[in-house]
Amino acid sequence: MNDPLVYVLTAAAVFGIGVHGLIAARHLMRKLLAINLMLSAVFLLLLATSAPLGQAPDPVPQALVLTGIVIGVSSTAFALALMVRLVRRQGHASLGRRDER
Amino acid sequence: MTEWLAIALLAGGCFFIFAGTVGMLRLPDVYCRLHAMTKADNLGLLLICLALAMHEGRLRGALLLGLIWLLALTASTVSSHLIARHARARRIATGRFGR
Amino acid sequence: MSAGLLVDAALGLILVGLALQVISGHQLFRSIVFYVAFGLVMAMIWARLGALDLALADAALGAGLVGALMMVAFRRLVEFEPVQTADAGARDSTLVPVVALLSAALVAALGFSALPVADIEGRAGELALARLDELGLGNPVAAVVLVFRGFDTLIEMLVLLTAYLGARVVAEPRTRLAEPVQAYELPLVRSLLAVIVPIVMLVAFNLLWIGADHPGGAFQAGSMLAAAGVLLLLTGRLLPVERSTWLTRLALMLGVAALLLLVLAPMLAGHVAMAYAGRGALLAAEAAMMMSITLTLTLLFAGAPAVRVLR
């Protein structure tokens, strides 16, 4: 078992947790947090599979993840703005009707 | 010799950070927790920075580590001050069942 | 079992534990705090993997800025509906864990199938590293971001701008950052700003300057400056205003414009698009990108079309 393998397993577990959170959470903000977990898991998988046995990691996935982090933050900010607007309009912070939340 | 001293300092730093964490988890109210965390953690961080500076053995690295410690100290001072002030303004009481 | 593997395993386990804490429990605020911790551990893992560029960016953005954005949104929601926001449990369904396990298995299978790829000759990264000397740059990540895949970066700057415009469109005209914390005139806060802000600016400009040869560059510098912007907004030194000026709009578009120029200008000179234009051009483009990234992220946090300095 070598180092990248540990992080592949970590990424898989975090992704699964993120999917669980995305589906199971009622509150939209927690769904957003779960999506961010999934995002981090994908980044980790990209880097872990490109950094074999302690060598310097591949610069191409590093560059992709670097820009991806900034994009992730900006889209999270957009989603939060959308969520605040939605909550103010429909009165509750979950998908679907109020009574079935 | 230097190496052993660095290891001893590192162990001491880990002990203080561990103590601070235990204090934050176990102490009854927000003021005690701040007390445990700021003091023990900053001392622990200082010891770890000293150990790393010894291990590094160059002036530049040591100065940078010192700067890191000072910045962490500044941030933790101000943030714990703000947390304590907020707690007092909200009249969060002391004691185990204070909340 | 080596010590390094032990550290990796511990970091991985901590990351998984923090992720579990983020999605469980009833208090939303607790989840946000755990997400910040998750981002910090993530930055440590990047450092362990040798990706210092990512560690820098993730410590400032993934942990800092996302956490701050979430807390501001949380505060707005609590003001609107305290009960539901404070208590946000999960729904029960037997199908959910199955789907989660299946997706985890999918990711693991993808990872395992991707691991042998590392041994293949002639990967994109090796090509980039091999041609690094031709460019005279020391940082392969900067070379990929600005030269080899400059077109990607152009589109990513466009995405950043689009996200900002989207947030502006859906924001209600009356919602703005709630009044800054009452404590901002405390002497301690004033001295914190006097210490932190110059240091952050120094570090950010240094990251920009050395970005061609060492870990650093526009994205990291921009995220650090945006963190300083958030600090200034929270302490009331920058105030959100409702009307933007042409200067703000220009600065927002500067990054896209600079990258367009970087991509297209070689064509005017008779080369192919994205031909390498030299260190000076790269530094200028990175400076423009840093300004745009800083301003976009700061304004996204402020939830306003512009900010002004407190006089």
DSSP string, C171-213: S-TT--PPPPPGGGGSHHHHHHHHHHHHHHHHHHHHHHHHTTT
Name the token pair of C154. Answer: 């152009």
C158-to-A71, B25, C155, C161, C163 alpha-carbon distances in Å? 10, 45, 5, 5, 9
Q: How far is CA A37 from the centre of its chain?
A: 3
| pLDDT value of residue B98 | 44
Cα–Cα distance between B51 and B13 in angstroms, integer?
A: 9
| Residue A54 reports pLDDT greater than 60 | no
| pLDDT value of residue C294 | 92
| pLDDT value of residue C17 | 94
Which of A15-19, A97-101, C228-232, C238-242 has the weakest average pLDDT?
Answer: A97-101
Confidence of residue A1 (pLDDT cuts 50, 70, 90): very low
| pLDDT value of residue B93 | 67
| 8 A C-beta contact, residue A94 and residue A24 | no
Closest CA to A34 of A46, A17, A47, A12: A17
| Chain C partners within 8 Å of A8 (Cβ) | 108, 111-112, 115
ipTM over 0.85: yes
| Residue B77 reports pLDDT greater than 80 | yes
| pLDDT value of residue B99 | 42
Identify from C36, C188, C197, C201 which residue to disrupt to test chain B contact, counting B C-beta atoms within 10 A and taking the largest count: C188
| pLDDT value of residue A52 | 57
A18 burial (CB, 10 Å; 0-12 / 13-18 / 19+) is: buried
C238 pairs with which residues across the strands? C309
> Are A and B close enough to touch, i.e. 3+ CB pairs under 8 angstroms?
no
Q: Which residues 39-98 of chain B have a CB within 8 Å of chain C? A: 71, 74-75, 77-78, 81-82, 85-86
* Cβ-nearest to A62 among C53, C73, C170: C53
Chain-chain contact of C183 with B82 (C-beta, under 8 angstroms): yes
What pTM was estimated for this model as a whole?
0.87
| Residue A86 reports pLDDT greater than 50 | yes
Compute mean pLDDT per 10 residues along chain C, 311 residues long, and list them.
83 93 86 93 90 86 86 83 61 76 84 70 70 74 78 87 89 57 68 88 90 82 90 84 86 89 79 72 88 91 83 69
Q: Is A96 left (phi over 0), alpha (psi -120 to 50) or beta?
A: left
Identify from C84, C93, C148, C219 which residue to disrupt to test chain A contact, counting A C-beta atoms within 10 A and taking the largest count: C84
| pLDDT value of residue C122 | 63
| pLDDT value of residue A101 | 44
| Alpha-carbon gap: A81 to the closest alpha carbon of chain C (Å) | 6
| 8 A C-beta contact, residue A12 and residue A41 | yes
| pLDDT value of residue B82 | 84
What is the rounded average pLDDT of the residues B26-41?
A: 86
Cα–Cα distance between C277 and C284 in angstroms, integer?
A: 11
Round to the nearest angstrom and report the end-to-end CA distance of chain B. Answer: 50
Within an 8 Å CB–CB cutoff, is residue A96 touching chain C? Answer: no
| Alpha-carbon gap: B1 to the closest alpha carbon of chain C (Å) | 22
* Cβ-nearest to A74 among C16, C39, C163: C163
Within an 8 Å CB–CB cutoff, is residue A81 touching chain C? Answer: yes
CA angle B25, B26, B27 (to 5 degrees): 110
| pLDDT value of residue C134 | 73
Which of A92-101, B35-44, C77-86, C232-241 has the weakest average pLDDT?
Answer: A92-101
Chain-chain contact of C38 with A30 (C-beta, under 8 angstroms): no
Cα–Cα distance between B8 and B48 in angstroms, integer?
A: 10
Within an 8 Å CB–CB cutoff, is residue A20 touching chain C? Answer: yes
| Alpha-carbon gap: C5 to the closest alpha carbon of chain A (Å) | 6
Chain-chain contact of C186 with B77 (C-beta, under 8 angstroms): no
Give the residue with greater pLDDT, A45 vs C123: A45
* Cβ-nearest to B74 among C181, C186, C195: C195
What is the rounded average pLDDT of the residues B50-69?
A: 89
Chain-chain contact of B78 with C181 (C-beta, under 8 angstroms): no
Chain-chain contact of C100 with A20 (C-beta, under 8 angstroms): yes
Chain-chain contact of C181 with B75 (C-beta, under 8 angstroms): no
